[in-house]
Amino acid sequence: MHNGYAPGFPLHAHPTWEITVQCQGKIRTAQGNATIETYPGTAFLHAPGLAHADIATETYQLIYVMFECAGLEPLQSVLYDDTDGSLEETCKAIVREWRGQAPHFETMIDLLVRRLVLLIGRLTSAVPHTASEQLVGAAAAIIEDRFNQPLTLDGLCKELSTTTAKLRRDFVQSRGQTPTDYLQAVRLRHAIATLRSTDLTLETIAHLNGYFSASHLTRHIKAATGSTPGQLRRHSGTS
């Protein structure tokens, strides 16, 4: 992971392939003669020896992986992660294995790099994303990453340099729900998972997942599942 700050990272190159996946913030990535604005969920594939740089006016975070792959010929250098965040999760798994060096970590890294190359091929051969799809993908990535923070639609639109009307319209067309509904669904998914897998208090779970209070969380759980938090916890076997 790289936590960057303004003005960014200077021009550089690597002897191997490098993929960078934007996790937080907004930067401009320069590669060769092109400069492209990137958002969370945007990935850049840098060929061996190709100079590139990050140009930032705010803090940002990206994950990068350098790897060797003979015969890799992607159709494009700019990629957009899928809705499951497969590219980001694969890169994070590679970094975890490299840092942890648990038994058989080299074999695991080899398998993960093979998965990464397959994902790159899949994403570069996919139908190009429209500007609206890129906007929705960037908004969804921010929501997934910062669901437990006090996100607002106005703040989200300001960060993405768009209007609330456009983001709401594009989001509904692409995902079938508003950005606000999507945020609530993400928060609820994480809250229920925490409820079922831990013995944390309901107040703590609410705080960890972006809810104002335990009662606020309880209302959302009951409306979505028809069960109380206590019933869900008993059903999962967590005391």
Tens of pLDDT, residue by residue over 102-125, are 999 999 999 999 999 999 988 887
Residue 142's domain spans which residues? Answer: 129-239
Nearest to 83 by CA among 225, 150, 190, 182: 182
Is residue 119 domain-shared with residue 137, that is, in the same domain? Answer: no
Is residue 6 domain-shared with residue 117, that is, in the same domain? Answer: yes
Axis-axis angle for helices 229-236, 179-197 (nearest 10):
50
Q: What percent of the chain has pLDDT over 90?
A: 55
Is residue 156 domain-shared with residue 139, that is, in the same domain? Answer: yes
pLDDT of 48 higher than 80: yes
Residue 20, strand partner residues:
44, 64
Is residue 33 domain-shared with residue 71, that is, in the same domain? Answer: yes
Question: Could you give the number of structural domains in the chain?
Answer: 2
Entry pTM: 0.61
Is residue 7 domain-shared with residue 70, that is, in the same domain? Answer: yes
Mean pLDDT, all residues of the chain: 89
Question: Average pLDDT, stretch 38-62?
Answer: 89
- Last residue of one domain, picked from the residues 107, 124, 141: 124
Is residue 91 domain-shared with residue 136, that is, in the same domain? Answer: no
Q: What is the pLDDT of residues 182-192, one digit of tens each?
A: 999 999 999 99
Distance CA 108, CA 115 (A): 11
Residue 239 is predicted with a pLDDT of 43
pLDDT of 171 higher than 70: yes
